[in-house]
Structures are given as structure tokens and as C-alpha cells.
């Protein structure tokens, strides 16, 4: 393109060249002098003014736009384009820039500076002269050559001048420069061209600037935010994540962010970085703590000086190390001083009382700088000659405890008589276990005195006759010497112990003779040694047999024996024939019976006879699910070679067990291993040859039935509940057929799997006594879960399958009431009394009457009257097959159907007034309420529904108002 220098000629274009120079002076001035912050956010892609050589844009047709060179006042050349074909009609002059690569930009700013001649000031141009021009762009990924096709351009806008100038302005040298800015975008190609279309105006394009905006990298809140190009929309903010400066980290849940605005400004800082442990903030960076200082956490602001008895030699430490002989407990924060173990307790004194020893001492002189000093006692029993000491073992009792003592005294009990003991009392604090220095303790050596033997145990009636009773018992656990004899004290129960007799025995059994027939006697036994008598064991009540009435005629006896013998013979012959004839068709039931593992001399043999020994490597323990009597219960997986992996529960025997504990623990496996029924928990095997000793049982996902029901209160249908009960009954039928009496059947001892299958669990001989938290001591000796146990089992320890049926009735009640506690909060004593008086639990809410009737049948006082488990299974099966029988009559006030209950209905004829009746039932405090409610006469009281009276009477007696009263609004109103 031709370029011309500015020359003072009189061509029609003279005015334009002059204006260019003046405008350029203005522009340069603004740029140099003002250099504002706004410009700092811009990235310039094209600035025609900054180019001093030819721009060489494309102009078409060639006689349209012309490139003109000029000089500013500093004689700096500038480049510009002008066009002024105002005289000719139909002008279409195009000017296109070179290709502009857009870089990261999405929104492009185009700033145009130009001057434009007022058509009115040009003579003879009416109709052809224009005062606007058009701005276009074309996006491309690369340069497209120098040809120019109009239809490929997108119009940005028609640009008009805010101010045009006239010939007169030229004379005054007042140039009117227009500045217009347009924005294009979002752009997607790599670059673009700009094009200017003139349609017959007189224009000088003084400068074209193309740029985009950016937020420039900064550090804010210890986070670096990188250069960020603004968003594509005018209103958009670009969210930018900050990166923490070195040795800083993001504050928890508060990572640093900022927002880059369309104007290239950083806005809305959120979150922050903080200096890491060992570093503190200085300006926009983190610097290490100096020597002798530390900062333990990024949350702390400043470095702190090392606490007492600690130091550090390095910069940037998060903690200080303890000096030699000083320690920090695991729970001590780095900010506390290092401490050391306490010195020994002082002034240890003792006091011996037979086989008990009390120790007292003063606190140590030096607590080591801590206030968590406690004391522990080490007990050793020593032989006299030579003196060799062994730990005292678990039989010695410590009160209040052996270790963790806060007070400065302790008593050791159950020591052996005439034995030599050494006790060491050590003061310990939070760092004692960290110290490798020698233990400091106060010690005493003591010889215990004489002591009487402890109680005999397990008294058993071997033989009860009309006039004699044979007893046996176990030697006391602590004889404390040689037992020379036992004394058996006995008296008639009715006489109390005002008159009693004694019998002596050298062995652990004795026969007491000369007793009266059919008489209840109370027995107590104690042992005797050189040190005197021990205490009596708990009372044992035994009733002698009835005396036979009259003598039988020997002839009759012979006749009876002969007849009986004949009958037996006939049956034997008949049985033999039948047995031979039908040997293949008839199966005699009950051939497999339960074997009590206690009958084995070596209990280990019993375990290995009934339980499979598993290889511990086949078991994978996963998590703890409960606490058993002997240790934790875990869940896990069992993979036996050639078998599918199964989920299992693993009962473990805790470390430090005694031989007896091990035996009792494995006893459960010896029992469980004999059973094989879908409603009895299945034993997979045992691990006895490794540690820990384990019992591996099938896994029951829903745990114990009582808590399972409580968790899902009201969520099952009656059929589902009856299905569970049916399963339990089937499991119990199997166990009773095997001759096993459970003794502790209760919902807590039923396990539920993921398919709601209920299985009987908790087997063991001593478990009822040791394991069940519900078991309490009864007056007849022994521990019993009273609420679940049949009266004959409570009274004279008569445990049979019939007593299991009673317990089953209670389980039915637990199930139908979704885990309610039987007899609610009545005391055990009240429960025993109520049962004795004929009270039976009422039907739980929504319980079908048929099921409650079955419960009542299980709670028959006479155990022979109770149904057998196979009958129970039959009844439940029938109910399941005929669900109509399980419907609860709507709106009925279901009455507990107990024959004995009716005896409790008050007989109003024996009372003269309501007050007298209330007094009789010990409810006189409600007298005013009855009067106020309009029940002043006995007649009006009698009108209250008699069923409700049954309940009222029971309730007043057993204090369980709230549970049963719901539904009896008339009575509730009075109460």
C-alpha cells in the first residue's frame, strides 16, 4: 500500500492529516502520563499506534482506505488509515487488519479512535456523504491469505461519531477525536480478523487497540492465585483455587478461593492457608520457628518457647524434646512441661487381721511434676526357707483395687493362713511406664495369722427317706488349714432355729437320722480346723418323705407282682414280634440323647468328642459385636478347605483365664456340638490348640431376640411373630427330646438371623448362675432368673422340660409385647408372691386370645398340666395354617384368663363402705378421688366393669398401674 507523508497541500484530505497529528499528541500524552491500574489488567493483542512501520492491512478496492504516515510532536512516526470518497455514490471500501491470535482470551475488547467529517460542512455531497462506518470480524484458526470475502464477516456494529468536525474547526485546530469500544466473544477459534467497511464517509482511523482482560497472579491469605483470564460473559466471575505458599497448609474445611471478575479484578476471597506446625507467618510467607521455640499446630499463631525440662536444637520444630530422665505421657500436649515418675511412697505401715492385711502410706516426696499420681500394689507369696516368692494369683482380693488407687490405703483379703507375703507399694504417674529407670517402691514382708476355713459349697441331698437324709458337699475353697471335721446343724423349719441338733462328720458327706416323716428341715454345714469353725453355708431346706400308710397283705403283694410280671412279659414278647416284623418300617424316636460333659473325667475329651478342632488360620476375626462372660464375642469369616466361606460369631476366652474358666467356657461348645437342628444355634467348631481359645458359631445377623424386637417395636405381623415363636418351640422340642433342660430360656438367649429365623442359644452348665444378669439368689440357694422360671424350679430347684415350657410361655409374652420386661418393674419378691397367689401376665396389646391362652397353659401351676413342646409346635402350626384364629377382637377389653385370678375379684358384700374396701386393698389414699368422681357408694363402684376390677385389684397389689390401666378410662380418672 502506498504511504504518503503529511504535506501542506490543498487536496480535499488536508484537514484529515492535520487532525491526525493533533490527536496523536493527545493520545501519547494520555498514555505516558497516566499509565493507570486499569491498563495493568489488560493484555494487548494489537495496538496500531505502537507500530511505527507500515501496518500493511488489506484495503479493497485500492482507491478506498489509504495508509497514512504521520509524526507526533516528538517526531515519532504513527500509522493511520483514512478514506474520504464523499463525492462518489455507492461506496463500499473495506479495510482488514492482519490476523490477531487471541491467546487465552474469550472476550475481546476493541477500542477505536477516529475522527469523522460533518457532511453538512462539505459542499456538493448531499445524497452521497455518510457519517458512519461498519465494524466486522471473522474467526479463523490460522491466517487465510490476503483475499477478502465480505460474506465471511460477522458484523459487530455500525459506528457513528459522537462528534464530527467541520471546516471551521480546522481553522481553530480543535480536533474532535471519537473513542468507541466494542466487545466481541465468546470466541472459540485460535484467532480473528477485524474489518472496517466505509460506505461513503470521511474518516480517519487514528488508532485500533485490541485487548483482553486478566486478573494477574497475587498472594492473598498465604495462598497464591495464578494469572487468570476473565470469563466469557460480562457478568461472570471465574472461581480460582489458591495454592498455599511453601510451609503453609489449607485451613481445615476452608480451602482458599478467589474470584476473577470480568474487569480483571480479584474479588471475594474465601478460606485461607495457615503456616504449618513449626512455622509462623511473616508477610506473605511462612518462616521456621527459631531454636528453643516450637509451634505444635498450624492453628497456633506464634512460635512459643520450649516448656520446662524440654529443648530443641533445630529450627522449624513442632515440639521440644524432653531432657534426660523427663518424659511426656501420650496424652500430654506439647505445651506442657516434661515430667518424671514419682519417688516411692513414704511411711508404709501395715495391719494384719487373720488372713487380711491392710496397708497405709503417705504420698511420695516428689510427684514428678504431675498431679495424676496413683498407687499399685504387688503381692508375692514367699516360701520360708529358702525365700522364693511367686505372684499371689487371682484368689487374693484387693479393696478398693490392686492398681489405680487414688487413696493411700488398701486391704488384701483371702490370703492364706500362716503364709509369708511381701507387698510392694509403688507410686505411679502418667509417665511411669515410659521411664526405664529403676522402679521406686515401699515394701513390707508380712506373715499372716490363723484363719477359720471358708464356707463349704455345693451341698447336695443324696438320699431323702422318711426318717433320714443323706447329704454331701464340697470342701471349702480356702480351708486355711487341715479340716478335722464338719458340723451339720439342722432343725425343723417350723421351729425356726430355736431348737436345733448337730451331727459331725470327718468326710464330706453325712447321713442325718431320726427325723420325722413329711417334715421340712433346714440344714447348714460348716468346716472345722485348728483355727476354729468357719461360717455356715446358706440354708438348705429338705422335706422328708411321707410315711407309708398301713401295711400291705403279703398275699396282695405277691399277686400284684405276679400280675405286673405277666404284663411285662406279654409286652416284651409282643414287642419282640412287632419289632421283628416291622424292623425296617418303624423308627423308634429319641434314640439320640444329650450327654452331660461334666460326666467326663477329662473335660477336654468331651470337647473333642463333640466339637471339631478348627485351624486358627481358617478364621478371620473382623469386629467385636458383644461381650460374653468369658471374653469378647466377635464376628468374622470361616473358610474351611473345600467349603464355602461362611460368616461366623467367634467367642473368645480372655487372656489370664484359670483352668476352671477354660473348662466352663468350652463346656458350652461340648453341649452345643451335640445339637443339630435349624432352630438351635449351630457350632462350627473350637480352637483349643492355639490362643486365644475360641468357640466358632454360625453368625446370627440380628443378634439377640429381645433387643431385636425392641428395635422393631410394632413392625411385624402377628403371623411373623408366631413364626418366630414356632421356631423357638421347634428348637425346644428338639432339645427336650434329647433330654436337655435349658434352665434359662428367655428372649435374650434366642438369636435371630437375617431371615428372622430364631435359634435357641446360651448353653452351659454354670451359665444360668454365672452369666445371666437376670439371675438372682433365691432363698433356696442358687441363682435363678426369677421372672422366667417356673415356681417349682424357684422353690425346690426342680428344673425339667416342663419348667422350660413355663419359660417358653414367658418368651411368648416377650415376643408378643415386642421385648417388654415381664412383670414390668415389679420386684422379684413381688413376682414370686403374685405367681403364688395365681396372678398371670395379661395378654400384651393386640395379642390374639388363642396365643394368650397358650401362654396361660404354659403357666399352669401343676407342671404335669402344662403342654409339651411338641404340642406347642402343633398348636402354633395350626394357628399359622388358619390365620383367622389369630385375629384380635377389635375394641375388647381382653381379660386375663386365669382361674386363680377370679379369686382376686373383690367381694363387696364383706365391706360396708368404699373407704373400708379401699383400706382393705391398701388404697385408702384414693378415697377422696373416688368420692369426687361420683363413686361414693359401693353400688356405684361395683358398676365399674368387673374385668377392670380384676385388673384394679391386681394393680393395687403389685403397683403396676400404668402398664395395665391404659384403656380403663373410668378408673384412670379416679386415680
Contact residues: ligand AMP, CB under 6 A = 625-626, 628-629, 633, 649, 681, 697-700, 703-704, 751, 761-762
Indicate which residue of 72, 744, 762, 804 is catalytic: 744
Q: Kindly tell me which of 692 and 849 has the beta carbon lying closer to ligand AMP.
A: 692
Q: Kindly tell me which of 522 and 681 has the beta carbon lying closer to ligand AMP.
A: 681
Question: Smallest gap, in angstroms, from Cβ of residue 271 to ligand AMP?
Answer: 46
Question: Smallest gap, in angstroms, from Cβ of residue 256 to ligand AMP?
Answer: 49
Please state, in angstroms and rounded to a whole number, the distance separating the CA atoms of residues 321 and 324: 9
Q: Kindly tell me which of 265 and 698 has the beta carbon lying closer to ligand AMP.
A: 698
Please state, in angstroms and rounded to a whole number, the distance separating the CA atoms of residues 463 and 457: 18
Please state, in angstroms and rounded to a whole number, the distance separating the CA atoms of residues 879 and 847: 13
User: Which of 466, 485, 477, 461 has its CA nearest to residue 540?
Assistant: 461
> Count of alpha carbons within 13 Å of 668, Cβ hemisphere only?
31
Q: Kindly tell me which of 416 and 638 has the beta carbon lying closer to ligand AMP.
A: 638
Q: Kindly tell me which of 681 and 918 has the beta carbon lying closer to ligand AMP.
A: 681
Residue with cell 474358666: 661
Q: Which pairing describes strands 441-447 and 501-505: parallel, antiparallel, or unpaired? A: unpaired
What is 85-115 written as a DSSP string?
A: --SSSS--EEEE---EE-TT-SSEEEEEEEE
Q: Which of helix, strand or coil describes residue 609?
A: helix
Length of the chain: 975
Question: Smallest gap, in angstroms, from Cβ of residue 710 to ligand AMP?
Answer: 13
User: Which of 549, 878, 866 has its CA nearest to residue 736?
Assistant: 866
Please state, in angstroms and rounded to a whole number, the distance separating the CA atoms of residues 152 and 157: 15
Please state, in angstroms and rounded to a whole number, the distance separating the CA atoms of residues 252 and 299: 10
CB 399 within 8 A of CB 377: no
Phi and psi, residue 946, nearest 5°: -60, -30
Q: Which residues contact 282 (CB under 8 A, 6 or more apart)?
A: none
Q: Kindly tell me which of 529 and 652 has the beta carbon lying closer to ligand AMP.
A: 652
- The DSSP output letter for 150 is G
Q: Kindly tell me which of 703 and 915 has the beta carbon lying closer to ligand AMP.
A: 703
Q: Kindly tell me which of 114 and 699 has the beta carbon lying closer to ligand AMP.
A: 699
Helix-helix angle 946-958:828-836, to 10 degrees: 140
Question: Smallest gap, in angstroms, from Cβ of residue 625 to ligand AMP?
Answer: 5
For 835, the enclosing helix (H) or strand (E) is: helix 828-836
Binding site per annotation, positions for ATP: 625-633, 651
C-alpha cell at 67: 495508509
Question: Smallest gap, in angstroms, from Cβ of residue 767 to ligand AMP?
Answer: 8
Question: Smallest gap, in angstroms, from Cβ of residue 731 to ligand AMP?
Answer: 14
What is 284-303 written as a DSSP string?
A: TEEEEPPTTEE---TT--S-
Question: Smallest gap, in angstroms, from Cβ of residue 797 to ligand AMP?
Answer: 23
Please state, in angstroms and rounded to a whole number, the distance separating the CA atoms of residues 30 and 47: 15
3-state helix vs strand vs coil in the chain, percent to 5: 25, 30, 45
Question: Smallest gap, in angstroms, from Cβ of residue 720 to ligand AMP?
Answer: 20
Number of C-beta neighbours around residue 89 at 10 A: 8
Question: Smallest gap, in angstroms, from Cβ of residue 704 to ligand AMP?
Answer: 4
809 burial type by CB count under 10 A (0-12 exposed, 13-18 middle, 19+ buried): buried
Q: Which pairing describes strands 257-260 and 266-270: parallel, antiparallel, or unpaired? A: antiparallel
Residue with cell 432368673: 785
Question: Smallest gap, in angstroms, from Cβ of residue 764 to ligand AMP?
Answer: 9
| 313 catalytic residue (yes or no) | no
Q: Kindly tell me which of 198 and 774 has the beta carbon lying closer to ligand AMP.
A: 774
HEC-encoded secondary structure of 352-385: EECCEEEEEEECCCCCCCCCCCEEEEEEEEECCC
Q: Kindly tell me which of 679 and 761 has the beta carbon lying closer to ligand AMP.
A: 761
Question: Smallest gap, in angstroms, from Cβ of residue 702 to ligand AMP?
Answer: 8
**What residues pair up with 157 in beta bridges, in sequence order?**
135
Please state, in angstroms and rounded to a whole number, the distance separating the CA atoms of residues 660 and 474: 15
User: Which of 110, 247, 252 has its CA nearest to residue 187?
Assistant: 110
User: Which of 516, 534, 519 has its CA nearest to residue 473?
Assistant: 534
For 854-865, b/e burial (b = at least 16 CB within 10 A) is bbbbbbbbebee
> Count of alpha carbons within 13 Å of 554, Cβ hemisphere only?
0
Phi and psi, residue 895, nearest 5°: -105, 130
Question: Smallest gap, in angstroms, from Cβ of residue 751 to ligand AMP?
Answer: 5
C-alpha cell at 733: 422340642
Number of C-beta neighbours around residue 651 at 10 A: 22
Q: Which pairing describes strands 100-101 and 191-198: parallel, antiparallel, or unpaired? A: antiparallel
Q: Kindly tell me which of 392 and 681 has the beta carbon lying closer to ligand AMP.
A: 681
Binding site per annotation, positions: 625-633, 651
Please state, in angstroms and rounded to a whole number, the distance separating the CA atoms of residues 375 and 341: 12
Q: Kindly tell me which of 625 and 947 has the beta carbon lying closer to ligand AMP.
A: 625
Please state, in angstroms and rounded to a whole number, the distance separating the CA atoms of residues 454 and 649: 39
Supply the residues annotated as catalytic: 744
Amino acid at each position: 500500500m502506498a504511504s504518503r507523508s503529511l504535506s501542506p497541500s490543498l487536496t480535499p484530505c488536508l484537514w484529515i492529516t492535520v487532525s491526525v497529528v493533533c490527536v496523536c499528541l493527545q493520545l501519547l500524552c494520555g498514555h505516558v502520563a497516566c499509565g493507570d491500574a486499569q491498563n495493568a489488567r489488560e493484555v494487548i493483542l494489537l495496538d496500531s499506534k505502537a507500530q511505527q512501520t507500515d501496518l500493511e492491512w488489506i484495503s479493497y478496492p485500492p482507491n478506498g482506505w489509504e495508509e497514512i504516515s504521520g509524526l507526533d510532536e516528538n517526531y515519532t512516526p504513527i500509522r493511520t488509515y483514512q478514506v474520504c470518497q464523499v463525492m462518489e455514490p455507492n461506496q463500499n471500501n473495506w479495510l482488514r487488519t492482519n490476523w490477531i491470535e487471541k491467546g487465552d482470551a474469550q472476550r475481546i475488547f476493541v477500542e477505536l479512535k477516529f475522527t469523522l467529517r460533518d457532511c453538512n460542512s462539505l459542499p456538493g455531497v448531499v445524497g452521497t456523504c455518510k457519517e458512519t462506518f461498519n465494524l466486522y470480524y471473522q474467526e479463523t484458526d490460522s491466517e487465510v491469505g490476503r483475499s477478502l470475502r465480505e460474506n465471511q464477516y460477522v458484523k459487530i456494529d455500525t459506528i457513528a461519531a459522537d462528534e464530527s468536525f467541520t471546516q471551521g474547526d480546522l481553522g481553530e485546530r480543535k480536533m474532535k477525536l471519537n473513542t468507541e469500544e466494542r466487545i466481541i466473544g465468546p470466541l472459540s477459534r485460535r484467532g480473528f480478523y477485524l474489518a472496517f467497511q466505509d460506505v461513503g464517509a470521511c474518516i480517519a482511523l487514528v488508532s485500533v487497540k485490541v485487548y483482553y482482560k486478566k486478573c494477574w497472579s497475587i498472594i492473598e491469605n498465604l495462598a497464591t492465585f495464578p494469572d487468570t483470564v476473565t470469563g466469557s460473559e460480562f457478568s461472570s466471575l471465574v472461581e480460582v483455587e489458591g495454592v498455599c505458599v511453601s510451609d503453609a497448609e489449607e485451613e481445615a474445611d476452608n480451602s482458599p478461593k478467589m474470584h476473577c471478575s470480568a474487569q480483571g479484578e480479584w474479588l471475594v476471597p474465601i478460606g485461607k492457608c495457615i503456616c504449618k506446625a513449626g512455622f509462623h507467618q511473616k508477610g506473605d510467607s511462612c518462616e521456621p520457628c527459631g531454636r528453643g521455640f516450637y509451634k505444635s499446630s498450624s492453628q497456633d499463631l506464634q512460635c512459643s518457647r520450649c516448656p520446662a525440662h524440654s529443648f530443641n536444637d533445630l529450627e522449624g520444630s513442632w515440639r521440644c524434646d524432653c531432657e534426660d530422665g523427663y518424659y511426656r505421657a501420650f496424652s500430654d500436649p506439647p505445651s506442657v512441661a516434661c515430667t518424671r515418675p514419682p519417688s516411692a511412697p513414704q511411711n508404709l505401715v501395715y495391719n494384719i487381721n487373720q488372713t487380711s492385711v491392710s496397708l497405709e502410706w503417705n504420698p511420695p516426696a516428689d510427684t514428678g511434676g504431675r498431679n495424676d499420681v496413683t498407687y499399685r500394689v504387688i503381692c508375692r507369696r514367699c516360701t520360708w526357707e529358702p525365700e522364693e516368692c511367686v505372684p499371689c494369683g487371682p484368689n487374693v482380693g484387693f479393696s478398693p483395687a490392686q492398681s489405680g488407687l487414688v487413696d493411700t490405703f488398701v486391704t488384701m483379703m483371702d490370703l492364706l493362713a500362716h503364709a509369708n507375703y511381701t507387698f510392694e507399694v509403688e507410686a505411679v504417674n502418667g509417665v511411669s511406664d515410659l521411664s526405664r529407670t529403676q522402679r521406686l517402691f515401699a515394701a513390707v514382708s508380712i506373715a499372716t495369722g490363723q484363719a477359720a476355713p471358708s464356707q463349704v459349697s455345693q451341698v447336695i441331698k443324696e438320699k431323702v427317706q422318711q426318717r433320714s437324709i443323706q447329704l454331701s458337699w464340697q470342701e471349702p475353697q480356702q480351708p486355711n488349714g487341715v479340716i478335722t471335721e464338719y458340723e451339720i446343724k439342722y432343725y425343723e423349719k417350723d421351729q425356726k432355729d430355736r431348737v436345733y441338733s448337730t451331727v459331725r462328720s470327718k468326710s464330706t458327706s453325712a447321713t442325718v437320722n431320726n427325723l420325722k416323716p413329711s417334715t421340712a428341715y433346714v440344714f447348714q454345714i460348716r468346716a472345722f480346723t485348728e483355727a476354729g469353725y468357719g461360717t455356715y453355708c446358706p440354708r438348705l431346706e429338705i422335706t422328708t418323705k411321707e410315711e407309708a400308710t398301713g401295711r400291705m397283705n403279703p398275699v396282695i403283694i405277691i399277686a400284684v407282682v405276679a400280675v405286673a410280671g405277666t404284663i411285662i412279659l406279654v409286652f416284651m414278647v409282643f414287642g419282640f414280634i412287632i419289632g421283628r416284623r416291622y424292623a425296617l418300617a418303624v423308627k423308634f424316636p429319641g434314640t439320640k440323647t444329650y450327654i452331660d460333659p461334666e460326666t467326663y473325667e477329662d473335660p477336654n475329651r468331651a470337647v473333642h468328642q463333640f466339637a471339631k478342632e478348627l485351624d486358627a488360620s481358617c478364621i478371620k476375626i473382623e469386629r467385636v459385636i458383644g461381650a460374653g462372660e468369658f471374653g469378647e464375642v466377635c464376628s468374622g469369616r470361616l473358610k474351611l478347605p473345600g467349603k464355602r466361606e461362611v460368616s461366623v460369631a467367634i467367642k473368645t476366652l480372655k487372656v489370664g483365664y484359670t483352668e476352671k474358666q477354660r473348662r466352663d467356657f468350652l463346656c458350652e461348645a461340648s453341649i452345643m456340638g451335640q445339637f443339630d437342628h435349624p432352630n438351635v444355634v449351630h457350632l462350627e467348631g473350637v480352637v483349643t490348640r492355639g490362643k486365644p481359645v475360641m468357640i466358632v458359631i454360625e453368625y446370627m445377623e440380628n443378634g439377640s431376640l429381645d433387643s431385636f424386637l425392641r428395635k422393631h417395636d410394632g413392625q411385624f405381623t402377628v403371623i411373623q411373630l408366631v413364626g418366630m415363636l414356632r421356631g423357638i418351640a421347634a428348637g425346644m422340642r428338639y432339645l427336650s427330646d434329647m433330654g436337655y433342660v435349658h434352665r434359662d430360656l428367655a428372649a435374650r438367649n434366642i438369636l435371630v438371623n437375617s431371615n428372622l429365623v430364631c435359634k435357641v442359644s446360651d448353653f452351659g452348665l454354670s451359665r444360668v448362675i454365672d452369666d445371666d444378669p437376670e439371675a438372682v439368689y433365691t432363698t433356696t440357694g442358687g441363682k435363678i432368673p426369677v421372672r422366667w422360671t417356673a415356681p417349682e424350679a424357684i422353690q425346690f430347684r426342680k428344673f425339667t422340660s416342663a419348667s422350660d415350657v413355663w419359660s417358653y410361655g414367658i418368651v411368648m409374652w416377650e415376643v408378643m409385647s415386642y421385648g417388654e420386661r415381664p412383670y414390668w418393674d415389679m420386684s422379684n419378691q413381688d413376682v414370686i408372691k403374685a405367681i403364688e397367689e395365681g396372678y398371670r401376665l395379661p395378654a400384651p396389646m393386640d395379642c390374639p386370645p388363642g396365643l394368650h391362652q397358650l401362654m396361660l397353659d404354659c403357666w399352669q401351676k401343676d407342671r404335669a398340666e402344662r403342654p409339651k413342646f411338641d404340642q406347642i409346635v402343633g398348636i402354633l402350626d395350626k394357628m399359622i395354617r388358619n390365620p383367622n384364629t389369630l385375629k384380635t377382637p377389635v375394641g375388647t377389653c381382653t381379660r386375663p384368663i386365669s382361674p386363680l385370678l377370679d379369686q382376686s375379684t373383690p367381694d363387696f358384700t364383706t365391706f360396708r363402705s368404699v373407704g373400708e374396701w379401699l383400706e382393705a386393698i391398701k388404697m385408702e389414699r384414693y378415697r377422696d378421688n373416688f368420692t369426687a368422681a361420683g363413686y361414693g357408694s359401693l353400688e356405684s363402684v361395683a358398676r365399674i366393669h368387673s374385668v377392670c376390677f380384676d385388673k384394679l385389684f391386681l394393680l393395687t397389689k403389685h403397683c403396676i398401674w400404668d402398664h395395665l390401666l391404659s384403656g380403663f378410662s373410668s378408673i384412670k380418672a379416679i386415680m
